[in-house]
Amino acid sequence: MSSNAINTKCWICAERATFIEMDHANRKYYQCSAPDCGDFDISWRAEESKSDSHTFKEHLKSLANKHRGSDKVPLVTIGSDQNVKIEVINKTAL
């Protein structure tokens, strides 16, 4: 992971967060400060695709919070079928 954290608002809950660009700026690894949210990694295409989906963000928020403080993190990408997919991966795989 790069060490150039950018201060921003969390994509899920709009609370204070930082993100680090990953995979040549194709993904962002968010670290949210809200106690009911958490860390997650999301591709820019998935961000655009689901930016208005409250239901999707609530689901992702629940997953991020579930894995808060662990060695796992939700990864959100667009699959080869062009659908958004979420998988929980080890942080070391980032």
| Residue 59 domain flag | yes
pLDDT attached to residue 25: 87
Q: Are 30 and 50 in contact (CB under 8 A)?
A: no
Measured CA to CA, the distance from residue 94 to residue 79 in angstroms comes to 17
pLDDT attached to residue 3: 65
Cα diameter, the chain: 34
Residue 90: pLDDT band by 50, 70, 90 thresholds? very high
Q: What is the dihedral of CA 24, 19, 6, 9, to 10 degrees?
A: 140
| Residue 80 domain flag | yes
| Residue 1 domain flag | no
Model pLDDT for residues 34-89, shown as the tens digit of each residue: 999 999 999 999 999 999 999 999 999 999 999 999 999 999 999 999 999 999 99
Q: Enumerate the β-bridge partners of residue 43.
A: 27
pTM above 0.75, yes or no: yes
